[in-house]
Amino acid sequence: MLREAYLENTGRAYYQFDPENSTPNENVMVPFLNESGFTNAEGIIVRDTFKEYFSNEGAVPWQNSM
């Protein structure tokens, strides 16, 4: 459904990155609130571990261009 709507609106079946209209994503990870009911401490630790890895040594060259 989403792909068909994108194709209908743009005439393309894929997204083409435009570096002129992009903003750097310094902090795209939204912090969790401690009051939500479905989170647990272990899950938050795992998420933060992945966030640190993919923001540092696991980063790819194009990720801050999106």
pLDDT of the residue at 65: 76
pLDDT of the residue at 49: 93
What are the domain boundaries of the chain?
A: 21-66
Dist CA 30 CA 48 (whole Å)? 11
Residue 12 corresponds to which amino acid? Answer: R
Dist CA 27 CA 13 (whole Å)? 29
Q: What are the backbone dihedrals phi and psi of residue 50, each rounded to the nearest 5 degrees, phi first?
A: -65, -40
Q: Which residue has the higher pLDDT, 61 or 9?
A: 61
pLDDT in tens, 2-55: 667 767 777 776 666 666 766 655 556 666 666 556 667 888 889 999 999 988
